[in-house]
Amino acid sequence: MTDIVDDRIEAGAGGELGSAQLSAGQGVTWTRVCRLDQLTPGRGAAARVQGAQVAVFRVRVDDERDEVFSLGNHDPFSGAHVLSRGIVGDKAGVPKVTSPVYKQGFDLRTGACLDDPAVAVPVYPVAVCDEGWVSVGVPAP
């Protein structure tokens, strides 16, 4: 896994990403992970954010708009950090990533396993600033 972390910013402490002010709850640390144009639509990328492995996904919503999601990269079924390498798609309109190991699907919005509702992976807030930087928020310890 490659660390693509560029900069760290404490949300709620006057932190900015370029000229875009992030609005977040207290106790969330924002970390720049990459530029939006470095993420391929329909694919994931792995990053280390505040010591956690996260998977960041850029999903094409329509011809003019993409959404960015971030989940924990750890697949709870296989125990491997592989969700960033999963297949991105949707199930009945729900954006999802399918683990490349045992093929369970996870909702990109909630982290819930679509095949076993008792299992979920962490979801991290994502912000994209005006300059195109993607940042992932992690709760402070």
Question: Is residue 11 a contact partner of residue 30, using CB atoms and an 8 Å limit?
Answer: yes
| 1 within a domain of the structure (yes/no) | no
| 77 within a domain of the structure (yes/no) | yes
| 131 within a domain of the structure (yes/no) | yes
The pLDDT value recorded for residue 92 is 93
Stretches where the chain sits below pLDDT 70 are 1-26
Which tokens belong to 83?
A: 């969700």
| 76 within a domain of the structure (yes/no) | yes
Q: Residue 20 sits in a domain of what CATH number? A: 2.102.10.10
Q: State how far Cα 12 lies from the chain centre.
A: 20
Reported as a single tens digit per residue, the pLDDT across 39-70 is 999 999 999 999 999 999 999 988 889 999 99
| 73 within a domain of the structure (yes/no) | yes
| 2 within a domain of the structure (yes/no) | no
| 127 within a domain of the structure (yes/no) | yes
Q: What DSSP assignment string belongs to 56-70?
A: EEEEEEETTEEEEEE
Domain count, the chain: 1
Give pTM, 2 decimals: 0.81
Range of 123's domain? 7-139
Query: 106 to each of 13, 55, 57, 129, 136, how far by Cα in Å?
Result: 33, 12, 12, 26, 18
Rounded CA separation 32/112 (Å): 25
